[in-house]
Chains A and B, each alone.
Chain A
Amino acid sequence: NAGVMQNPRHLVRRRGQEARLRCSPMKGHSHVYWYRQLPEEGLKFMVYLQKENIIDESGMPKERFSAEFPKEGPSILRIQQVVRGDSAAYFCASSDRSNQPQHFGDGTRLSIL
């Protein structure tokens, strides 16, 4: 499967725990984007990363959320001290250049108990 791979597909956490979401871009893609989809709402941009660099994080909450895309390995979206409002589907997309179409993974559904 050469598509964007996200894992886990489903993640359950209790309030106060940490959530780590992983995204492996399509082969040859070095640009990664994270979006959040809440029920009854559209996808909202969170952060745009290129290998080892954060290009735009203006859509990401200032506290508890962080993202990285290391030289080796997948991109990680990390949510610390999760709260019920963090429950959502988190999607990752990738592209080979910044002005090229973005291809999405199947998302991680995060549920907070």
Chain B
Amino acid sequence: TQLLEQSPQFLSIQEGENLTVYCNSSSVFSSLQWYRQEPGEGPVLLVTVVTGGEVKKLKRLTFQFGDARKDSSLHITAAQPGDTGLYLCAGENRGSTLGRLYFGRGTQLTVWP
């Protein structure tokens, strides 16, 4: 069962544009992580959000956790070619399956110079 849906699946934009990617679920999560994965490498952790409504900023990246802890968004301001990669969201349900992360299929972002 795919518990986390990410959209869009693919996103191709020009350098300098802003973008938002979404991670949605019908399930409530204890925490949600965003990762970025490059070809041939493992996912690299960007941020963890744990509180409903929480907003975290990492330079040009802004992450938000929905009030009900069922969804999240990642907004990138003034995208750069170096932002190109596969963005993955992953949720954890500590009450039922401690330790296991449920991953979305990812958003493949390409930023053209």
Contact = CB atoms under 8 A, between A and B. Distances in A.
B105 A102 contact: no
Interface residues of B, number: 27
A42 B88 contact: yes
Contacts, number: 66
B43 A104 contact: yes
Interface in A29-67: 31, 33, 35, 40-45, 48, 55-56, 58-59
Contacts of B103: 35, 42-44
Nearest to A31: B99
B100 A48 contact: yes
Interface of A: 4, 6, 31, 33, 35, 40-45, 48, 55-56, 58-59, 91, 93, 95, 98-99, 101-107
7 contacts: A31-B99, A33-B100, A42-B2, A43-B101, A45-B100, A56-B99, A107-B41
